[in-house]
Structure 1
Amino acid sequence: MSSMEKSELFKAVGKRIKELREAKGLTQVDLAGKMEGEFDTTNVSRIEAGRTNPTLYNLYRIAVALEVDLEELVRVF
C-alpha cells in the first residue's frame, strides 16, 4: 500500500462513494434521505468532493444507506 496525503485520501474516498452512489442510481439527495438520522445533502457533496474528513460513524451510515460493506466503501487502492 502506498503512502497518500490526507487530501488525496479524502478525494479518493469521496470519489469511491460517488461511484457507488451513481451505480445504485441515487442522487445526493436520495443518499442523504436513506441515511439513518439527519444528514444534509451539502455534507454528501463535501464528502464526495474530498473537502471534508468524514467521521467513521458517517462513513458507516453511508455504507448502510448504499447497502455495501464499510470496507467496500473505503477501498481506494
Structure 2
Amino acid sequence: MEKSEVLRLTGKKILKIREQKGFTQLDLAARIQGDFDTTNVSRIESGRTNPTIYTLFRIAEALEVSLADLVIDEVKD
C-alpha cells in the first residue's frame, strides 16, 4: 500500500470516529492534549499530512479510542 493511501485511510477513520462521537473539528482540536489547531485536524483527516505516532496517540485519547482503532487497514463506508 502506498504512503498516500495509508494517510488517506487513517484520516478517513479519524473523521468517521469523530463524526460518530458528534464532535466537530474544533471540538476535537480542543480535546487534544497540548496546542492543536483545527487546520491540523483537517490536514490529518484529508490525508494531506503524516502525523507522528504521538499525535495519533493524542487524537486517540481525545476520541476515547485505542491507537489501534485509528490505524486499521481499511475503512468501511
Which band: TM-score by shorter chain?
A: over 0.9
The list of structure 1 runs, each at least 4 consecutive aligned residues, that deviate by more than 2 angstroms after superposition, is none
After TM superposition, the score normalised by the length of structure 1 is 0.93
Alignment of 1:61-76 (within 5 A): 61-76=58-73
1:54 aligns with 2:54: no
Identity of aligned residues (%): 62
Matches of 1:68 and 1:75, distance apart in 2: 12
Secondary structure of 1:53's counterpart equals: coil
Structure 1: which 5+ runs fail to align?
none
Match of 1:26 in 2: 23
What is the CA-CA distance between 1:61 and the residue it aligns to? 0.2
What is the CA-CA distance between 1:76 and the residue it aligns to? 2.8
What is the CA-CA distance between 1:73 and the residue it aligns to? 1.2
1:5 aligns with 2:2: yes
After TM superposition, the score normalised by the length of structure 2 is 0.93
Note the aligned Cα RMSD (angstroms): 0.6
Matches of 1:41 and 1:22, distance apart in 2: 15
